[in-house]
């Protein structure tokens, strides 16, 4: 591509835009990861990360992407041949179940049409039917990045309790952590999985596992082989004594990102994300396009996916928008490949950035000769103007 002036509008669902303050923090000289200065930093962050998960339980940090945290959750809580309940409700839910099968676990799968989040009633029925209590864990994605559907974790926890089932609840929060309300302790989540590259406004490279007392007890009995992903040495680590080299400079970035989150306020951040999600949906409806998530109660705060009209390629549309306007949009994944495009509205994003994004999408629809109604941008901007006094201003 030829040089394009101005900053690129990165509007994929992650990795997300990184604040300049975080980039500068990461660029600091490397510390001795066995020295006292890094030990102090690590001890601080191991405590400060807990409120983001809304937990008092330990949150373990690995040098990895969220996929590594998936594997860590499985091998620390399960034994070979154990049965788990997973979902074919989106690309990432499906990938997690595929990982579990590859690792030798027996997976029972509940499917959706990829336009809805998993149904708590169906989960309750599946667990109630498991009279021998052989299902050891439920693998749930809180926010499905592929389709913009958000699971109702509290309702699913209540369904599990009504079924009187002892299965662990493992929840992937990778694209919701720091963007939408998540309450590990209150919702009875046993393992909460996170990644650094989305709502936490960092590059990829830090993976998180928040672990409940029940999950820790299960890890002492689990017989799956593990070494790199083992929780035991990390649970014993209250400072810089990691069993391998940690992603040292990302810890500098994490401290700065947590400072930004504290300055804005976590609840204010959720309000901002909800505002941007609704503005995006209003734009999509204004264009006459169809939102992939079919149930309003399942709408994501992090990402919105939209179908292209029949006969039009979503990938060709995204290619045109990238080449002409320097704006990457998320691709349709799995069953949605070339049928839908995704707008990420999470992380370090403000009203003007979202407005520019939606303007770029509308210009792309015109340039690609995609049938649509004019006025989607104005529908979004009118909504944003009405809600401009809401909390959600990032500190300078």
Known binding-site residue numbers: 342
Residue among 51, 66, 56 nearest 181 (CA): 51
What the block records as the tokens of 343 is 């707008």
With H, G, I as helix, E, B as strand and everything else as coil, classify residue 291.
Answer: strand
Measured CA to CA in angstroms, residue 328 lies from 126, 315, 354 at distances of 40, 11, 13
Alpha-carbon distance of 179 to 48, in angstroms, equals 17
DSSP string covering 312-378: --HHHHHHHHHHHH---BEEP-GGGTTTEEEEE--SS--HHHHHHHHHHHHHHHHHTT----TTHHH
* Residue 142 near residue 319 (C-beta atoms within 8 A): no
- Give the residue numbers of the binding site for substrate: 342
Residue among 82, 72, 54 nearest 138 (CA): 82
With H, G, I as helix, E, B as strand and everything else as coil, classify residue 50.
Answer: helix
Sign, CA torsion 260/268/175/83: positive
Alpha-carbon distance of 304 to 96, in angstroms, equals 21
């Amino acid at each position: 591509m030829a040089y394009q002036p101005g900053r690129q509008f990165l509007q994929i669902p992650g990795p997300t835009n990184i604040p300049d303050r975080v980039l500068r923090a990461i660029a600091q000289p490397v510390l001795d990861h066995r020295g006292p200065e890094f030990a102090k930093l690590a001890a601080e962050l191991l405590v400060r990360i807990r409120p983001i998960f809304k937990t008092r339980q330990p949150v373990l940090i690995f040098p990895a992407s969220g996929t590594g945290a998936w594997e860590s959750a499985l091998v620390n809580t399960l034994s070979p041949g154990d049965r788990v309940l997973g979902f074919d409700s989106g690309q990432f839910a499906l990938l997690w179940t595929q990982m579990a099968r590859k690792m030798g676990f027996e997976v029972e799968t509940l499917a959706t049409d990829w336009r809805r989040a998993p149904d708590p009633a169906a989960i309750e029925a599946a667990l109630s039917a498991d009279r021998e209590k052989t299902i050891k864990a439920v693998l749930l994605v809180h926010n499905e990045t592929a389709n913009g559907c958000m699971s109702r974790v509290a309702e699913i926890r209540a369904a599990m309790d009504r079924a009187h089932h002892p299965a662990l609840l493992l929840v992937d929060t990778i694209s919701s952590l720091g963007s939408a309300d998540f309450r590990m302790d209150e919702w009875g989540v046993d393992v909460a999985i996170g990644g650094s590259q989305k709502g936490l406004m960092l590059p990829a490279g830090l993976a998180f596992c928040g672990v409940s007392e029940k999950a820790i007890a299960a890890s002492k009995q689990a017989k799956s082989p593990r070494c790199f992903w083992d929780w035991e040495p990390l649970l014993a680590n209250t400072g810089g004594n990691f069993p391998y080299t940690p992603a040292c400079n990302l810890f500098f970035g994490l401290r700065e990102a947590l400072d930004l989150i504290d300055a804005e306020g976590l609840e204010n951040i959720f309000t901002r994300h909800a505002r941007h999600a609704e503005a995006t949906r209003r734009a999509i409806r204004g264009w006459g396009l169809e939102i992939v998530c079919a149930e309003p109660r399942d709408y994501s705060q992090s990402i919105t996916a939209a179908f292209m009209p029949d006969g039009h390629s979503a990938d060709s549309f995204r290619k045109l928008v990238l080449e002409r306007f320097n704006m990457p949009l998320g691709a349709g994944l799995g069953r949605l490949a070339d049928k839908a495009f995704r707008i990420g509205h999470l992380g370090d994003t403000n009203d003007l950035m979202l407005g520019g994004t939606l303007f770029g999408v509308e210009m792309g629809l015109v340039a690609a000769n995609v049938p649509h109604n004019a006025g989607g941008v104005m529908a979004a901007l009118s909504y944003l103007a009405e809600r401009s006094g809401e909390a959600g201003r990032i500190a300078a």
